[in-house]
Amino acid sequence: MSEWSPDIDRLRAFDDGEWLAVEREYAGRLLAYVARRVPDVQAREDVVQEVFLGAVRGIGSFDDSYTFEQYLFGICRNRTIDHLRRRQALAPGGADDGEGPDLFDDLAGETETPSRIVRRDDLWGRGSELLTEILRAWVQETWEAGELRRLMVIEALFSGGWRNRDTWQRFGLRDETAVAGIKFRALKRLRELAAARDPGGHLVQALSQEAAGGQAPIDVARAWRENRVSCPARHWLARLRAGTLDEGPAEFIRFHLEEMKCPWCLANQDDLERSEDSLDPLLEKVRASTARYLRSRTL
Q: Report the top-level CATH class of 8-111+275-298.
A: mainly alpha
Tell me the C-alpha distance between 182 and 171, whole Å: 12
Tell me the C-alpha distance between 259 and 192, whole Å: 30
In terms of pLDDT, which residue wins out, 276 or 218? 276
Tell me the C-alpha distance between 293 and 120, whole Å: 31
Task: Using a pLDDT cut of 90, give the percent of the chain over it.
Answer: 60
Quote the pTM value. Answer: 0.76
- What does residue 104 show for φ and ψ, rounded to 5 degrees? -65, -45
Domain ranges of the chain: 8-111+275-298, 127-267
pLDDT, tens digit, 9 for 90 and up, residues 19-57: 999 999 999 999 999 999 999 999 999 999 999 999 999
> Going by C-beta distance under 8 Å and a sequence separation of 6 or more, which residues neighbour residue 234?
1, 3, 268, 272
In terms of pLDDT, which residue wins out, 30 or 127? 30
- Which pLDDT value is given to residue 10? 96
